[in-house]
Amino acid sequence: MTVKSYVENILQPKLQGDGGWVEFVSLEGDKLTLVFRGECSKCLILHRCVSWIEEQIRLELKINVKVDAIRRRPYFQDV
């Protein structure tokens, strides 16, 4: 399974269950760029979730990545 597929099919439904949203942007070297929307975009402890994502990818796909988390807040929360 590719990292993109793992993010979109395995991680995404889990984050959605908490009102969150993650989108794969790119994987360049070990830099995995993800966009976080929904509740993730304003989560005060998103860094913990990002660490968990890195850990899951390491465990499941045997790949070490460093996530670059981009928050896309809705306009009404972009303060």
Partner 1 sequence: MAHIKVVRRSMRPEEWTDLRFGWLKRHIYSSKWEIENLEIRDARQTAEMEFEYYSESYRPLKKGDMYFTPDGTAFIKADVALPDDLKGKELWFCLKTAAEICVKVNGKYIGGVDPNRERMLLSPYIDENEVLHFDMMGYNRSKPDDERNPESLSVRGCRQIFEGAYICTVNHAVQDLVWDFELLLDIAKSELFNEDYRAFLNRELNNAMNLINFDEDELSGIEQAKKYIDEVIYANDTYKGSGDVALIAHSHLDVAYYWRRIHAVQKNLRTVLIQLRLMDKYPDFKYTHTQPYVYETLEKYYPEVFAELKEKVAAGQFEPVGAMYVEPDCNVPSAESLIRQCLYGQKSYERMFGKRVNNAWLPDVFGNSWILPQILRKSGVDYFVSNKMSTWNDTNRFPHNNFIWKGIDGSEVYASVPPTHFITWNMPSQIQENWEAYIDKDTGGQTLNMFGYGDGGSGCTEEMIEMMHRFDKLSVMPKCEHVGGAEFLEKNLKGNKNLAVWDGELYLEMHRGTFTTKSDLKKINRRLEYKFRAAEMVSLMRNEDNREEITEAYKKLLINQFHDILPGSHIHPVYNDAMDDYREIEAVLDRIIGSGKKYFNTLNFRRKSLTFIPNKNGTSVRYGEKGNWLIPDMPSLSSSALRSTAYKGEWIKAGDTVETPYYSVKFNADGSIASLYDKELCREWVKGDFNKLKLYSDTPGNYDAWDILPNYKDKQISYEVAEPLCFAGADGECAEFICTLKTEKSTWQRIIRLFRRSRGIEVENNVDWNEKHVLAKAEFTPDVLTRKVLCDTSAGYIERESHRNTSWQQARFECCHHKWCDMSEFGGGIAVINDGKYGVGIDEGAMSLSLLRATIRPDVVSDMGIHSFCYMILPHGGDPISAGVNEIATEYNVPLIKCDAEWTLPHFEPLYLQAAKKSEDGTMTVIRLSEQKGTRGKIQLDRKVKMLNMLEEAECETDVIEYKPFEIITIGL
* Residues listed for the chain: 79
By rule CB under 8 A, what count of residues binds partner 1?
26
Q: Is 48 in the site for partner 1 (CB under 8 A)?
A: yes
CA angle in degrees (0–180, nearest 5) for 69-12-9? 125
Q: Which residue has the tokens 């509740």?
A: 39
Identify residues 53-72 at the interface with partner 1 (CB under 8 A). none
Span of 1-9, 24-32, 35-43, 63-71 interacting with partner 1 by CB under 8 A: 35-43
Q: Is 43 in the site for partner 1 (CB under 8 A)?
A: yes
